[in-house]
Amino acid sequence: MVGTMRAHRLAPLAVLALLAALAGCRSSPAVAAYLGDRAITVAEVDEVVRAVNAVGDERWAARRAGGPGPQPPLVHTTAAEVVSLIVLRHVGERLLTERGLPAAPRSSDVFAAIFGLPPSDPYLRLWLDYWQVVQPIVAAHPERPPTDEEAGRFLDALVDAGQVPDGVGHDEMIADLKRYPAFGAAASAQQTLAAAASGVTINPRYGGLVLPAILSLPSGLVPIDIAFPDDGKVPVEEA
């Protein structure tokens, strides 16, 4: 939790939105995703997840032990998030080319500070590659107030990240989140990303993809994962 922080104090560093699941005609238990002719293996995804969460476990243990000095940020990831970072980078690169949009600056120092990982870390590189291509796509969409459903998905992401203020009810949180038109732009961008996702196949074991995003909160820059809307999902199918 973040003390008694109110939702209207949330300031998105950049709000991204994305796909929940993508259909395909190819399937292999050893492949996490097909990106055109390229196959992302389950082993590649699992290796990133294991490495990040091992660091996270060590940091949790150090905090519980009350080690001296400032503690590094806690880190955690899931296979769905890692697959999402890879898939959305692929989709975003195609959109940038088609629309003539420039990539965002590569903010290595910012992301290294958020996760407490060196720029050479594979997980951090996934975030940097993803951010460079998806953030400009979101920024290209006009801002508008998010709907109740859209605000609800952002709220769910905050709940999952343990970033909901104490003492603030659901309806009040939704009302506060709807004050931010950047969330509406993100919701529009996810439809653009979904429409551009042809040629991508996701292993059904990962279910729906998520939207990795960074929010600026009083506690610092916090990563969250935002679900795709149910009515925008494309079923994942096995061959």
Residue 41 in tokens: 């293996």
Return the pLDDT at 168. Answer: 87
Please tell me the pTM assigned to this model: 0.84
Closest C-alpha among 236, 237, 238, 239 to residue 20? 236
Residue with structure tokens 């300031």? 11
Return the pLDDT at 26. Answer: 54
Return the pLDDT at 23. Answer: 38
Q: How far apart are CA 98 and CA 138, in angstroms?
A: 15
Return the pLDDT at 175. Answer: 95
Q: How far apart are CA 31 and CA 20, in angstroms?
A: 18
In a structure prediction context, what are the per-residue pLDDT tens digits for the chain, which is 239 residues long?
333 344 444 444 434 433 333 333 456 789 998 888 889 999 999 999 999 999 999 999 988 888 666 788 989 999 999 999 999 999 999 999 999 999 999 999 999 999 999 999 999 999 999 999 999 999 999 999 999 999 999 999 999 998 888 888 999 999 999 999 999 998 888 888 877 877 788 888 887 788 899 988 777 899 999 888 765 454 343 43
Return the pLDDT at 27. Answer: 61
Return the pLDDT at 200. Answer: 83
With 0-12 / 13-18 / 19 or more C-beta atoms within 10 angstroms meaning exposed / middle / buried, residue 171 is exposed
Return the pLDDT at 133. Answer: 96
**What's the half-sphere exposure (Cβ side, CA atoms, 13 Å) at 84?**
29
Count of other CB atoms within 10 angstroms of residue 36: 11
